[in-house]
Amino acid sequence: MDSTTENSSNPDFKGLRVVAFESRMAAETRTLIERFGGRAIIAPSMREVPLEDNHAALDFAARILAGDLDAAIFLTGVGVRELFRVMETRHDRAALVAALGRIVTVARGPKPVAAMRGLGLAPTITIPEPNTWREVLACMAAQIELAGKRVAVQEYGSTNRDLNAGLEARGAIVTGVPVYRWTLPVDRAPLRVAIGAIAAGEADIALFTSSNQVTNLMQMADADGAGGALIRGLGTLVVASIGPVCTQELRGRGIAVDLEPEHAKLGHLIKEAAVRGGSILARKRGTSRAAQAAGRGEALAQRSDPQAADAAQRGALHDHPIMRACRREPTPYTPIWLMRQAGRYMPEYRRVRDRYSFLELCQQPDLAAEVTTTAVARLGVDAAIIFADILLPLVPMGVGLRYEKGDGPVIDRPLRSAADLDRIPPVAAADALGYVAESIRLVRRALGDRTPLIGFAGAPFTLASYLIEGGSSRQYQATKTLMYTESATWHRMMEMIARVTADYLNMQIAAGADIVQLFDSWVGSLSPDDYRRFVLPHTRSVIAAVRPGVPVIHFGTVTGNLLELMREAGGDVIGLDWRVDLREAWDRLGPGVAVQGNLDPIALFAGAAEIRRRARAILERAQGRPGHIFNLGHGILPETPVGHVIALVDAVHEMSARR
């Protein structure tokens, strides 16, 4: 019988090399793979570490006993049992069960249900299959009002940031209750062997049985400088995933999943891999050869090899006019993009926005990506800017960020003292803001090698001003008071923000951003002396930490008195608002830097002829010098007519065209 027949239901690996990352069930995994005729490469990737002093679990106990929570979500069975083991070191089980009986309890699927039953608890809500965070959210939202509810989420392993973000987007106040954390195993040699085998094409099937395995495997490979080779290797073999959560983690890292079993169980996974693995592999490798023979190697490489595709894309974009302008190289025309090019002025945006809150839009990568690319297509601009907000890093800081209609952003618990600052938990961008990375990956894929993508973040001063004022401000009274009276706290806060921001920008670059812009929108409220003392070192540390080779645009408004200092802080391109004359500002900055700007956004309310005149005036101020990126001096206003924006883009392209 043909070994590659697809509907052969006989589980037989026929000697294929099967890599698995199971830890707890390592022995069973090996036995099953070998029973089905596979050659097993077992590389345990995780070690469970019970938290010695599990404060989060004990706080959780105290809060349920005090009636201080409205709902608790239990994500895993092992987690439920471990949580109780910790809580019962201090409290009576019967009291805990009774207290939980008074609030809404949610079990994600059969395992937590069973664990809860074992303790004498019946969940209020049971989440149906495939019980990913989407079902948890949808089910809860359908059965209870989430706004204002205090919700605890029992975590096991890594935090489910999508679930937390979704709950927060619906107004819930979320507390994570980590019960176990995963670390890499003590003996990492088998994992290194497996990574080497995958990278060298010496494995045929990879079995993933949890999302934490993916995280740990990539962490290890990255630490060894083998991340790219590993992802490329995985693109040439059969990747089998136990279920939707694990699949989502793999896809989020650009790893295609070839197989998911009908039931999310180890035995089913191995059996189905044994039934279908051979034919999938033949198809994958066969197609690859056929395509290469047909001379379409490159297109295929893009599909099966995300890292190489990424490198190829960056290469192809290297000579895009906007990339050249960042390096002050001559361009065939002046490239243009516009701050807030995806926003309320655009009907396509308002239509999506009618159905979702602003935070939901930012936190759902498919929506954020759609909004980003729609703006590029509609306007014909030379760059995309990822749809997000400079304030998103404040969400994991737990300060209670809300976007209120009419009032702009509001921070419920502003930082006004050293004690406030001490309450801010450490923020790791990849964990807390991974949805932005995912949006970038989606946009990158959609744009191909046609249009560069700009990532961005708020600069430390502007973010600090929101954190301290609790929202937008006119005078920055609280901000400057803290700066002047508690300078040690001020610098500590700025260092914290700078660390998060650098990490966040590099995460965006790793995901595919070609350029990054640092928004210091409100820094113009400072004197040069204060800027030098209280801001410059921190902005400089962010810019210096950005991955070399990726251009940085450093933007602020009302900065006529600060331009030289901003230049000193860093950036390949300095963003100018409309209050300065472009030519004079560029002369002050010197020849070693590019500039961006600087049309008054209100000019877009005038007619096409006036827009054209003003755009021409700016192009004339730039005198065709290499290194000018056309932009507004600040973001597009919500009432701006779309047609006028398109007219501006066309006018700039046409008037600046150089033969």
Interface positions with ligand CP3 (CB under 6 A): 339-344, 353, 358, 385, 387, 389-391, 403, 408-409, 456, 472, 519, 521, 634-635
CB of 446 to ligand CP3, least distance (A): 16
CB of 371 to ligand CP3, least distance (A): 8
Task: Compute the distance between CA of residue 426 and CA of residue 323 in angstroms, rounded to an integer.
Answer: 34
Which residue, 456 or 531, is less far from ligand CP3 as judged by CB?
456
Beta 180-183 vs 47-50: how paired, if at all?
Answer: antiparallel
CB of 515 to ligand CP3, least distance (A): 13
CB of 461 to ligand CP3, least distance (A): 11
Which residue, 385 or 496, is less far from ligand CP3 as judged by CB?
385
The one catalytic residue in 39, 47, 283, 344 is 344
Q: What are residue 126's DSSP bridge partners?
A: 107
The one catalytic residue in 466, 476, 504, 531 is 466
Q: Which residue is nearest to ligand CP3 (CB)?
A: 521
**Is 289 a known active-site residue?**
no
Measured between alpha carbons, how far apart are the two ends of the chain, in Å? Answer: 65
Task: Compute the distance between CA of residue 308 and CA of residue 130 in angstroms, rounded to an integer.
Answer: 33
CB of 390 to ligand CP3, least distance (A): 4
- Phi/psi region, residue 254 (left: phi>0; alpha: psi -120 to 50; beta: rest), is left
The one catalytic residue in 17, 253, 324, 340 is 340
CA-only gyration radius of the chain, Å: 27
Which residue, 220 or 367, is less far from ligand CP3 as judged by CB?
367
**Is 285 a known active-site residue?**
no
Task: Compute the distance between CA of residue 339 and CA of residue 329 in angstroms, rounded to an integer.
Answer: 23
CB of 341 to ligand CP3, least distance (A): 5
Q: Which residues touch 222 (CB under 8 Å, ≥6 apart)?
A: none
Q: Beta-carbon neighbour count of residue 315 at 10 Å?
A: 10
Task: Compute the distance between CA of residue 499 and CA of residue 495 in angstroms, rounded to an integer.
Answer: 6
Which residue, 178 or 393, is less far from ligand CP3 as judged by CB?
393
Which residue, 77 or 455, is less far from ligand CP3 as judged by CB?
455
Task: Compute the distance between CA of residue 337 and CA of residue 629 in angstroms, rounded to an integer.
Answer: 8
Question: What phi and psi values does residue 17 have, to the nearest 5 degrees?
Answer: -90, 115
CB of 521 to ligand CP3, least distance (A): 3
Q: Which residue has the tokens 């043909």?
A: 2
Both tokens assigned to 363: 């936190």
**Is 466 a known active-site residue?**
yes
Which residue, 333 or 358, is less far from ligand CP3 as judged by CB?
358
Which residue, 333 or 403, is less far from ligand CP3 as judged by CB?
403
**Is 382 a known active-site residue?**
no
Beta 573-575 vs 552-556: how paired, if at all?
Answer: parallel
**Is 572 a known active-site residue?**
no
DSSP helix/strand/coil, 143: helix
How many C-alpha atoms does 98 have within 13 Å on its Cβ side? 7
Q: Which of 106, 89, 86, 97 is nearest to 64 (CA)?
A: 97
The one catalytic residue in 389, 503, 514, 572 is 389
Q: Which residues does the annotation mark as catalytic?
A: 340, 344, 353, 389, 466
